[in-house]
Amino acid sequence: MYPYYENEWGILPIEHNRRFNPGLNMATIRQAINETIERGIMRMPTPTRLRDLIRQIRAAKTQAEERAVVNRECAYIRSTFREEDSVWRCRNIAKLFYIHMLGYPAHFGQLECLKLIASPKFTDKRIGYLGAMLLLDERQDVHLLITNCLKNDLNSPTQFVVGLALCTLGAIASPEMARDLAGEIEKLMKSPNAYIRKKAVLCAFRIIRRVPELMEIFLPATRSLLNEKNHGILITGVTLITEMCENSPDTLNHFKKIVPNLVRILKNLILAGYSPEHDVSGVSDPFLQVKILRLLRILGRNDSESSEAMNDILAQVATNTETSKNVGNTILYETVLTIMDIKSEGGLRVLAVNILGRFLLNNDKNIRYIALHTLLKTVNVDISAVQRHRSTILECLKDPDVTIRKRAMELSFALVNAQNIRAMAKELLIFLEKADPEFKAQCSSSMVLSAERYAPTIRWHLDTLLSILIAAGNYVRDDVTSSTIQMISSSPSNEQAYIAVKFWEAIQETQDNQPLTQVGVWCIGESGDQMLYNSEQEFAGEKPDETAIIELYSKLLWSNQVNTVSKQYALVSLAKLSTRFKSGQNDIKDIIDTFGSHLNIDLQQRGVEFSQLFGQYSHLRESLLEKMPAMTINKINGTNSNGDTMEDELPRITVEKTINNIVKSNTDTLLDLLGNGDDIISPPIQTTLTTTAVPASNLLDLLGDIDISAPAMPIMNNNNNNIITSPVTMSILDDNENTKISESLFNMNGSGGAQTGNYNDLGLDFLSTPTTQTSAKITTAFDKNDLLITFATTRKSDYVEVVMTTTNNSLDTLEQYLFQAAVPKSFQLQMMSPTGSVLLPGGIVSQEMRVKSNSSSAVLRMKLRISFVCNGNPILEQAEVSNFPDV
């Protein structure tokens, strides 16, 4: 099994060999006889041996057979537990571990494990502690019992018993256990016995991990650890100091003075000759080297003096390490991270990026992954250095390994700029076309962003957007659809006509690509006349006539492959075409009329309404269906919140209002209503119709009819946005337009992002207003990757109230959002429950925290840990906040 078998390793000395039978002596024989007699009296059959049970279970041919063996044995084991059989407890428990590993329940062995631990025999303790680590979990009441056992064994004269207790504590320490045993561990950290000492140091590490406040008791015993020669103590010591430094900035400063010690240890490791004990393929103790390099990184971060002290040794490690084996690369990887993170010399940084460049060309997949991963981290530091490796990175997009592809994609997007956008977009489009569905959404959204930022020409931009829609198909997120429409609407009209032709050609090829269909019909609806009657337009194939286009619409509208949203787009677009086309109005009317009896209520309503525009109100049609005015582009990478056009997230307004006061501006509402059908973000409404000589009562009728027939919609979902948006919408209508209209009608027609987009913005304003109204001082705690966390700090009677508000400025929905905070020991932190755990794009979650100070002089700092799931990927961010206002 093992490729690196070394022959020279001898077997253990005979007296230490566990397979060696020491033979018989009188004591053991007597004991065996006594125990056998004892068993005879108790009439207990000898239990199956552990290895025999394993054999039996392995011999089972079916799952059922295996279950039968396991059940029989479990029943037997339970019965021995009841009989308090202490002779075979150890064996029975060991069998239970095997059964547990197979996935069967074994919790009934927990208490028996404790009995084993309490036994004076080493074998019993060894198995008992193993069981404690395997079977107990944190929430068990038995933890209190085990804490007592641990306390006893930590004081045992036998080093191996102490070792077992330490090992167990290290694996399962709960906060309570940590508090109870911290004192014992601190004593053992000073033990002269290296075997015990190194384990105690790691226990201290775990204790601090669980209960950071306990750090201070360990501080005095920690410093001397670095003066030891023993590598076990050195490596555990470095691990402990690393944890302490990450725990508090004060401790970090305290340990700055050990930089020379660390440098010396590292230097000795590199320069010392071959030492067989710690050598791994020619590298001296890579485990220790890596740990030291990591600690140096933490100590040198943002500290020029410490960084200065380690420049030389880092250069030495970077140049002297052998790179033919994994060990060497391990150390180089850690060195590069350290060089890039501290305030190192320019030359050293060049060296580091060159190492990554070499990694990128390495045959080993693991090393290539590391290179991509690290380049992504350093891309902000030195983008031009990373640019040099662009072609290699693009090559990695084609790698069969999904882990590598993902990293390469992220890195590629980080490298896009105005100079290389054409070439990069070409490569990324090829990638997008072949990418797994899981990548398509993320990749297409990122491409839209890049294109928006760096597009050289409008035509190129439009072409790229079209290609993205074709390549990513139904996997694109809705923001891609809406931002594409925005982009087209704000282009010059000849470009609109150009892209309409392109879309026309694309739609004919495929019909089950919903986003493409939606954008396509929108384009044709808006600029169908220019597309057909502007002689400059060139068609790849035959130039279509009106009939061909209407035929396609009728196909789309009745196709099973086209979803309702796309049909909504198509219907509105068709209505618009009736004013663009020279003939064909009758065909269009026929199609629209058939929708008057469509099963889908929304489509039916559109059908009925548009039919009216062909009959009684045909004189209105021309002006109602005018071309959309150019939309103001909402930068989707900005801090806005639109772009999410999930249908079910529309604000549902339930309040019905009677129409009793129609003023002229109602026509705006109708216009807006028709605009909404286009599923776009409406610009501020242009009052183009107010001058039309329309009897207001007619409009009233039109609106009124529909209002009466429209059932009130219940509130569909309860997320924050909606609750907040509803009242805002109302007030806007009331205050700004002084109008009362049927809002349910308004609602009925809204199908796309129009409302969500605009009202979300309003909703955000609404939400932020009360926050600023209070005397709270607002500080930004975290602003990274489109995630903005602000703190509103207010002084209350005996505590400080900090309201955390997280805004999701990205285009992704963040799920399982969890905000955690920790404060120094001199403060007490109480966290209230958050308002939610899901952040829609533009969404907000807030959480109240109450901070009490134990001492007056202490300065408030906070460590933040933010975790969430984005596109199925878990993401963890950490930050430290110290800029609290003085309140």
Torsion of CA 298, 303, 307, 309, to 10 degrees: -110
CB of 654 to other proteins, least distance (A): 40
Q: Which of 67, 69, 76, 98 binds other proteins (CB under 8 A)?
A: 98
Q: Is 160 helix (H, G, I), strand (E, B) or coil?
A: helix
Residues 3-22 touching other proteins, rule: CB under 8 A, are 4-5, 9, 11-12, 15-16, 18, 21-22
Least Å distance between CB 23 and other proteins? 7
- Determine contact, residues 762/732, Cβ cutoff 8 Å: yes
Closest to other proteins by CB, 90 vs 787, is: 90
8 Å CB contact between 125 and 163 = no
Q: Which is nearer to other proteins, 482 or 813 (CB)?
A: 813
Between 100 and 657, CB nearer to other proteins: 100
What mask, x for binding other proteins by CB under 8 A, covers residues 841 to 880? Answer: --------------------------x-----xx-x----
Q: Is 343 in the site for other proteins (CB under 8 A)?
A: no
The CB density around residue 323, as the number of other CB atoms within 10 Å, is 15
Per-residue x/- marks for other proteins, 26-65, CB under 8 A?
Answer: -xxx-xxx-xx---------x--xxxx-x---x-------
Residue reference for tokens 């305030």 = 343
Q: For residue 738, is it left (φ>0), alpha (ψ between -120 and 50) or beta?
A: left
Spatial contact of 537 and 531, defined as CB atoms under 8 Å apart: yes
Angle at 683 between CA 680 and CA 687, to 5 degrees: 125
Instruction: Check: CB of residue 405 under 8 Å from CB of residue 396.
Output: yes
Verify binding: residue 401, other proteins, rule CB under 8 A: yes
Is residue 744 a contact partner of residue 713, using CB atoms and an 8 Å limit? yes
Per CB under 8 A, the list member of 99, 149, 327, 565 interacting with other proteins is 327
CB of 884 to other proteins, least distance (A): 26
DSSP class of 257 = G
Q: How far apart are CA 431 and CA 302, in angstroms?
A: 39
Q: Which of residues 236-255 bind other proteins (CB under 8 A)?
A: 236, 239
Contact residues for 119 (Cβ-Cβ < 8 A; gap 6+): 86, 125, 128
Backbone angles phi, psi at 816, to 5 degrees: 50, 40
Can residue 365 be called a binding residue for other proteins (CB under 8 A)?
A: yes
Q: How many whole angstroms separate alpha carbon 832 and alpha carbon 847?
A: 6
What are 819's two structure tokens?
Answer: 């905000």
Which range touches other proteins (CB under 8 A), out of 159-167, 425-433, 460-468, 589-597?
159-167
Residue type, 803: V
CB of 240 to other proteins, least distance (A): 9
Near other proteins by CB under 8 A: residue from 184, 334, 452, 678: 334
- Which residues within the stretch 109-148 sit at the binding site for other proteins (CB under 8 A)? 121-123, 126-127, 130, 133-134, 137-139
Asked if 83 touches other proteins (CB under 8 A), the answer is no
C-beta closer to other proteins: residue 172 or 519: 172
DSSP string for residues in 134-171: HH--TT-THHHHHHHHHHHHHT-SSHHHHHHHHHHHHH
Site for other proteins in 181-220 (CB under 8 A): 195, 198-199, 202-203, 205-206, 209
CB closer to other proteins out of 129 and 595:
129
Tokens of 131: 């069981």
User: What single-letter DSSP state applies at residue 871?
Assistant: T
* Residue 119 DSSP code: S
Binder among 320, 403, 774, 785 for other proteins (CB under 8 A) = 403
CA 92/CA 126 separation, integer angstroms: 14
- 301, with CB counted inside 10 A (0-12, 13-18, 19+), is middle
Q: Which of the ranges 70-78, 94-102, 476-484, 507-515 carries the binding residues for other proteins, by CB under 8 A?
A: 94-102
Q: Of residues 70, 90, 185, 485, which one binds other proteins by CB under 8 A?
A: 90
Among 14, 61, 84, 103, binds other proteins (CB under 8 A): 103
**Among residue numbers 270 through 309, which ones bind other proteins (CB under 8 A)?**
277-278, 280, 285-288, 290, 294
The nearer residue to other proteins, 818 or 838, going by C-beta atoms, is 818
Pick 158 or 561: Cβ nearer other proteins: 158
- Interatomic CA distance for residues 567 and 586, integer angstroms: 20
Stretch near other proteins under the rule CB under 8 A, chosen from 23-31, 504-512, 681-689, 751-759: 23-31
Token pair in block for residue 408: 């390469």
368-397 footprint of other proteins as x/- string (CB under 8 A): xxx---------------------------
Beta partners for residue 818, in sequence order:
867
- Are 525 and 573 contacting, i.e. CB atoms less than 8 angstroms apart? yes
3-state secondary structure of 879: strand
How far apart CA 885 and CA 72 sit, in angstroms, is 67
Distance between CA atoms of 354 and 318, rounded to whole angstroms? Answer: 11
| Tokens matching residue 38 | 């004892």
Helix or strand run (H / E) with residue 669? helix 666-676
Strands (E), 544-672: none
Using rule CB under 8 A, residue 76 touches other proteins: no
Q: Single out the segment in contact with other proteins by CB under 8 A; choices: 301-309, 322-330, 507-515, 649-657.
A: 322-330
Binding mask 517-556 for other proteins (x = CB under 8 A): ----------------------------------------
Signed CA dihedral, 516, 521, 524, 527: sign only: negative
CB of 61 to other proteins, least distance (A): 14
Part of the chain binding other proteins (CB under 8 A), chosen from 161-169, 343-351, 415-423, 443-451? 161-169
Site for other proteins in 628-667 (CB under 8 A): none
Please tell me the count of residues contacting other proteins according to CB under 8 A: 102
Please identify, among the stretches 91-99, 179-187, 344-352, 636-644, the one whose residues bind other proteins according to the rule CB under 8 A: 91-99
**Interface segment toward other proteins; rule CB under 8 A; list 257-265, 399-407, 424-432, 666-674:** 399-407
**Cβ proximity to other proteins, 120 vs 770, nearer residue:** 120
Q: How far is the CB of 228 from other proteins (least distance, A)?
A: 13
Judged by CB under 8 A, the residue of 1, 41, 64, 693 near other proteins is: 1
Residue where the block lists tokens 């005095």 = 220
Q: Strand 862-870 relative to strand 777-784: parallel, antiparallel, unpaired?
A: unpaired
Q: How far is the CB of 37 from other proteins (least distance, A)?
A: 10
What residues have CB less than 8 Å from 125, skipping those under 6 apart? Answer: 116, 117, 119, 153, 161, 164
- Which residues, at least 6 apart from 294, have a Cβ–Cβ distance to it below 8 Å? 242, 334, 337, 338
Closest CB 403 distance from other proteins, rounded Å: 6
Q: CB under 8 A: which stretch of 402-410, 416-424, 684-692, 789-797 binds other proteins?
A: 402-410
- Element counts in the chain: helices (H) and strands (E): 39, 10
Q: Which is nearer to other proteins, 8 or 536 (CB)?
A: 8
Question: What minimum distance in Å lies between the beta carbon of 713 and other proteins?
Answer: 38
Least distance CB 315 / other proteins (angstroms): 20
Nearer to other proteins, 377 or 796 (CB): 377
**Residue number with CB closer to other proteins (106 or 620):** 106
In whole angstroms, what separates CA 413 from the centre of its chain?
18
From 158-166, 433-441, 597-605, 683-691, span contacting other proteins (CB under 8 A): 158-166
Question: CB-wise, 27 or 41, nearer to other proteins?
Answer: 27
Say how many C-beta atoms besides its own lie within 10 A of residue 607's C-beta. Answer: 21
